[in-house]
Structure 1
Amino acid sequence: MEITSATTYRFGIVVSQWNSAITGPLLDGAYDALKKHGAKEENITIVQVPGSYELTSGADIMLRDSGIDAVICLGCVIQGETKHFDYICSAVAHGITHVALKHNKPVIFGVLTTDNLQQALDRAGGRHGNKGEEAAVTAIQMAALSARIK
């Protein structure tokens, strides 16, 4: 798959502080992928929010700056013993979609929703790759699509 150059685009990354052992590597993967594909350091804005639930608000605040072409939301929610997992995952997925439609800009779902810590580690640079990197590639492709359609 050929990836469009990210040189002309501005990206926002909103990352959850909760589960930082997972979200840190996701952030590194996303940032490195953007740079690898030509994004300029000054065109990447990173903000941290307390948890995955706040990713939606963080993306909405970030998109008030109309110069940002795409936002990548990075978080990790690990299944626990209560229904909290279901509520958070659903709210974040719907919220990210809502923000994307509200601002007419790509907002990328880079949130791991795993059954356990090992599954999260496997997807944050482990045996299943780095989903932060995949989210960045998606952001590049969607920013390019948005630019072509305009």
Structure 2
Amino acid sequence: MATALKNLSEYSDKNLSDVSGKTFAIVVSEWNEEVTEALYKGAKETLLVNGVSEKNIIRKNVPGSYELSLGAQWMAQRADVDAVICLGCVIQGETKHFDFINQAVAIGITEVNLKFNKPVIFGVLTPDTQEQALDRAGGKHGNKGDEAAITAIKMLGF
């Protein structure tokens, strides 16, 4: 369903497993900080509401979205981490930079999932404008951080 028709903070509570003893790493891009901080707040709050202890939420920052894949790999290789949530935002510009970064990040995060056999969640916004990004980071379309956290929880119950 298109984001324009869906609030990203609404989710089904079907198939939510008990994650009270699980540890989540959240890797956050520092680029587009206004957006990524809002995504982080949404993800963290959703984890807390669903029974994750604050001490079981590890936050790591990386400079930009391109670095999310390596940051995720470093977290996924830790035996004490059950799932990794990657949060970033790449806004369309006037060059092809947007396309190259987004493709590399999507492939990189997918590879980390498969390499470590752990949920590594793609919570990266790819909007055309700053306004669209803010709409999806706690604005009128909810918070993609919420969606990323619920996805991690559901994947742990798979």
Q: TM-score range by the shorter chain?
A: over 0.9
Distance 2:79 2:25 in 1: 11
Distance 1:46 1:90 in 2: 24
Q: Can you list the C-alpha shifts for 1:92-115, whole angstroms capped at 9, x where unaligned? A: 000000001000100000000000
Distance 1:67 1:21 in 2: 30
What secondary structure is seen at the aligned counterpart in 2 of 1:8?
Answer: coil
Aligned equivalent of 2:30:
17
What's the TM-score once normalised by structure 1's chain length? 0.94
Aligned equivalent of 2:99:
86
What's the TM-score once normalised by structure 2's chain length? 0.90
Distance 1:107 1:64 in 2: 11
Deviation at 1:9, TM superposition (A): 1.1
Aligned equivalent of 1:144:
157
Aligned equivalent of 1:97:
110
What secondary structure is seen at the aligned counterpart in 2 of 1:72?
Answer: strand
Q: CA RMSD in A?
A: 0.7
Distance 2:48 2:67 in 1: 26
Amino-acid identity (%): 59
Distance 1:61 1:53 in 2: 14
Deviation at 1:133, TM superposition (A): 0.6
Give aligned pairs, total. Answer: 145
Is 1:7 paired with 2:20? yes
